[in-house]
Structure 1
Amino acid sequence: MSKKGYLITGLGVLVGAIVGYLYYKEIGCVSGTCAITSKPLNSTLYGALMGGLVFNLFVTSKKKNT
């Protein structure tokens, strides 16, 4: 993967982490029984993972001609 690919994926991780934490803070889980949204760390890590995966979809790779 190129430098640009790492940058895009890293940006996705950062944006996802922020969105995951904001989801916990604003919506969250009142009862505390939700596995992902009951704790801020879980929600932030899940958001970071999803953000990295979604932004990685926009990374293009060069095809090799053999």
Structure 2
Amino acid sequence: MTNKAIIITGIGVIVGAIAGYLYYFYVGCASGSCAITSKPLNSTLYGATMGGLVFNMFIKLPKK
């Protein structure tokens, strides 16, 4: 991976982690039985993973 790809993916992880925590904080799970949104750590890690994957889609591969 190039430095640009690592930076873009890293930004996606950070943005996703913030979005995941905000989702937990504002929406969350009232009953506590939700697997992802019942704990802030789970929600933040899931958001970071999804953010990294989504931002990684925008990286253009170099032509051979």
Give the structure 2 partner of residue 31 of structure 1: 31
Q: What is the aligned-residue RMSD (CA, Å)? A: 0.4
- In structure 1, runs of 5+ residues without a counterpart are none
* Identity across the alignment (%): 70
Q: Distance in 2 between matches of 1:63 and 1:32?
A: 48
Which TM-score applies when normalising by structure 1?
0.95
Within 2, Cα distance between the matches of 1:61 and 1:11? 18
Is 2:24 the partner of 1:19? no
User: Matched residues in 2 for 1:6 and 1:20: separation?
Assistant: 21
Structure 2 gap segments, 5+ residues each:
none
Which SS does the other structure have where 1:33 is aligned? Answer: coil
Pair 1:46-2:46 in alignment: yes
Higher Cα Rg, which structure: 1
What's the TM-score once normalised by structure 2's chain length?
Answer: 0.98
Q: What is the deviation of 1:63?
A: 1.6
